[in-house]
Amino acid sequence: MTVLSQHRLKQVREAIADSGADALVLTHLPNIFYLCGFSGSNAILLVLGDAIHLFTDGRYTIQAREEAPQASVHIVRNPLAEACGEFLRSRSPRKRMRFAFESASLSVVEWTRLKKAAGRGIEWKPTTELMERIREVKSAEELDAMRRSARLASEVISEAPDFVRPGVAELDVAAEIDYRLRRKGASGPSFETIVASGPRSALPHARPTEKRLQKNELVVLDLGAILRHYCSDLTRTVFLGRAPARVRRWYKAVEQAQEAAQHALRAGVAAGSVDRAARRLLNQHGLGQYFVHGTGHGLGIEIHEGPRVGRSQKQEIRAGNVVTLEPGIYVEGVGGIRIEDEVAVHADRTEVLTTAPRGLLEL
């Protein structure tokens, strides 16, 4: 096992002990990948003592052994939860053991199978965010992967003048973005690419439609790449034509709100204080009512991870966190403006990972 994986396994063992359990059953696929490297779509991972046991099906016989050489691989035909439970029963522990499981990702059906197959010698302990809290702090290797992913996405969004123009459908713009992400090496977009124009740009999570871009309207582009299993996420807003004074004022306010959030972001502060910094700035411009979501979120293997950067979040920002800072305003019937970047938090500084220009782009 690599030094990095040994460190991760040590962290997981400590977290298991802190939870009051003796072992852990992982069912959330991103957590399984994080710990053992297996990227298949069907798996259960058992952390038991010094060993990790990976249960999957015959489709992944070769892949599991290649990606997770440190794990004991069990290729099974029956449901994975049942196979895992039968394995536990076969171990016949001398004392009653406490097994933690991921309550947020294990269905009632699978939980019933697991418990029934394992028998009565096990006490089951539901856990939440045990692995997720560990994953929030990125290693140097993870940060390097995220820099590359952020740089790739930044290159694509910087090419917007090549294909964002009046007359092109939102769906076609989104398809071009996804094509360029893959052409530059991404395994795919990290979420469904958002292209929202005109009044539709006031929808924070609008899906692209057949609507065609028109002159003298706002266009919000929100995209990300998956590269080496790590996600990126950034947003830019463009105006098709010469932006009126009102739009310029709004854009400047959002830009300043993001700067305020970045200034407030550092190791040791509460996540909520970062959100309040952005919100305070928009309130000063009389735009606070149009800011309808949190200032940001963590990301990594998944596009949404901890810590959340919202007004009520008391969780402390830690060195190694990577978060988005994405204040925005959304005016119904007019349009929306959002500026989003990824920022890595270090012990003594912050580092903006996305590199695309942030100024208002008029096309």
Q: What distances in angstroms separate CA 300 from CA 297, 306, 339, one per listed residue? A: 10, 9, 19
pLDDT tens per residue, range 95-139: 788 999 999 999 999 999 999 999 988 999 999 999 999 999 999
The arithmetic mean of pLDDT across residues 237-251, rounded, is 98
Cα(292)–Cα(254) distance, integer angstroms? 13
Please give the mean pLDDT across all residues of the chain: 96
pTM of the model: 0.95
Reply yes or no on whether the pLDDT at 4 is more than 60.
no
Contact status, residue 254 vs residue 293, Cβ threshold 8 Å: no
Q: What is the per-residue pLDDT for 243? A: 98
The helix-helix angle for 80-91 and 108-118 (nearest 10°) equals 20
Q: What is the per-residue pLDDT for 93? A: 61
Cα(229)–Cα(218) distance, integer angstroms? 32
pLDDT tens per residue, range 57-70: 999 999 999 999 99
Contact status, residue 83 vs residue 65, Cβ threshold 8 Å: no
Measured over the CA atoms of residue 9, residue 11, residue 13 and residue 16, the dihedral's sign is: negative
pLDDT tens per residue, range 263-294: 999 999 999 999 999 999 999 999 999 999 99
| Cis peptide preceding 307, ω within 30 of 0 | yes
Q: What is the per-residue pLDDT for 49? A: 87
Residue 66 CA from chain centroid, whole number: 26
Q: What is the per-residue pLDDT for 17? A: 94
Contact status, residue 79 vs residue 65, Cβ threshold 8 Å: no
pLDDT tens per residue, range 293-309: 999 999 999 999 999 99
CB-based contacts of 224, cutoff 8 Å, min separation 6: 149, 153, 189, 190, 191, 231, 232, 233, 234, 303
Q: Look up residue 129 and give its DSSP letter.
A: S
| Cis peptide preceding 244, ω within 30 of 0 | no
Task: Please report the DSSP string for 272-286 in residue order.
Answer: HHHHHHHHHHHHHTT
Confidence of residue 74 (pLDDT cuts 50, 70, 90): very high
Contact status, residue 322 vs residue 353, Cβ threshold 8 Å: yes
Dmax over CA atoms of the chain, in Å, equals: 76
Cα(228)–Cα(156) distance, integer angstroms? 17
Q: What is the per-residue pLDDT for 354? A: 98
Q: What is the per-residue pLDDT for 91? A: 80
List domains and CATH numbers for the chain.
Answer: 3-135 (3.40.350.10), 140-362 (3.90.230.10)
Query: Which amino acid appears at position 18 of this protein?
Result: D
What six digits make up the tokens of 251?
């854009």
- 3-class SS at 323? strand
Q: What is the per-residue pLDDT for 6? A: 82
Q: What is the per-residue pLDDT for 7? A: 85
Residue 69 CA from chain centroid, whole number: 26
pLDDT tens per residue, range 185-228: 999 999 999 999 999 999 999 999 999 999 999 999 999 999 99
Which residue is listed with tokens 């590359």? 148
290 exposed, middle or buried (CB, 10 Å; 0-12, 13-18, 19+)? Answer: buried
The arithmetic mean of pLDDT across residues 320-348, rounded, is 98
Contact status, residue 248 vs residue 327, Cβ threshold 8 Å: no
Phi, psi for 250 (deg, rounded to 5) = -60, -45
Q: What is the per-residue pLDDT for 257? A: 98
CA angle 269, 274, 277 (to 5 degrees): 125
Q: Which of 232, 235, 193, 231 is nearest to 218 (CA)?
A: 235
- Residue 236: HSE in the Cβ half-sphere, 13 Å Cα cutoff: 24
Q: What is the per-residue pLDDT for 92? A: 63
Q: What is the per-residue pLDDT for 51? A: 93
